[in-house]
Amino acid sequence: MVVFSPSILAADFTRLGEQIKRVDEAGAEFIHIDVMDGAFVPNISFGFPIIKAIRPLTKKVFDVHLMVEEPARYIDEFIATGADIITIHYEADRHIDRTISYIKSKGIKAGISLNPATPVEFIKHLIPKLDMVLIMSVNPGFGGQKFIDYSLEKIKEVKELSEKYNSELLIEVDGGIDKSNIKKVVESGANVIVAGSSVFSGDNIENNLMELRKVL
């Protein structure tokens, strides 16, 4: 089964509540929330008040992707806002094993994200304790970028580690996914698809999501 996690970073912020309800009704399983701090990435996005405000709008899984320095400082606050999965960047946490263990101790699913140039090998020993690995197929910080082709090889590497160490692992891919490449992404081993512009562009969210599913 392939899970869709539309990224609300690409939504119309003037109609954010409405658009979250529409992706919910269109059958998206997760809601992807990109948190940016302006330090780890050159942009700033959602904070605790926004996530807390939108939590009552849907019962779908809140897939919270922390693109922030020293994410361990904020885990409790993101749990309090209603996060179901918290994904932190390998590159942003010097004690990532400890942070992953802490997230899981709170009953929340834990993931690690890798920037495009970060080798999969770096997280090999963490695979058994992870719920998700997020492969960034663009450089994080901005929406609308072009998919980086070598990401497909990284997805395959994570899939091989999953088959060896953790068959329940979610393999998420984020960045530049559309109808032209989604099938290759899934065939490489991804089972969670983050789609931003390809879902929220125009004003036909339901049809956009359906068209992505039809390709698979």
User: Catalytic site residues?
Assistant: 34, 174
103: Cα within 13 Å, side-chain hemisphere: 29
Do the annotations mark residue 141 as ligand-binding?
Answer: yes
Do the annotations mark residue 142 as ligand-binding?
Answer: yes
Cα–Cα–Cα angle for 193, 143, 186, nearest 5°?
A: 20
Do the annotations mark residue 175 as ligand-binding?
Answer: yes
Do the annotations mark residue 125 as ligand-binding?
Answer: no
Q: Check: CB of residue 7 under 8 Å from CB of residue 216.
A: no
Do the annotations mark residue 32 as ligand-binding?
Answer: yes
d(CA 116, CA 103): 24
Q: Check: CB of residue 215 under 8 Å from CB of residue 25.
A: no
Nearest by Cα to 194 from 92, 45, 85:
85
Structure token pair of residue 179: 């109808």
Torsion of the alpha carbons at 5, 129, 88 and 60, rounded to the nearest 10: 30
Do the annotations mark residue 174 as ligand-binding?
Answer: yes
Do the annotations mark residue 178 as ligand-binding?
Answer: no
Do the annotations mark residue 7 as ligand-binding?
Answer: yes
- Lookup result for tokens 């060896």: 164
Do the annotations mark residue 149 as ligand-binding?
Answer: no
d(CA 105, CA 99): 10
Nearest by Cα to 68 from 40, 42, 96, 46:
40
Do the annotations mark residue 188 as ligand-binding?
Answer: no
Do the annotations mark residue 82 as ligand-binding?
Answer: no
What type of residue sits at position 115?
A: N
Q: Check: CB of residue 122 under 8 Å from CB of residue 135.
A: no
Binding residues for substrate: 7, 65, 141-144, 174-176, 196-197
- Residue ranges at the known binding site: 7, 32, 34, 65, 141-144, 174-176, 196-197
Residues at the annotated binding site for a divalent metal cation? 32, 34, 65, 174
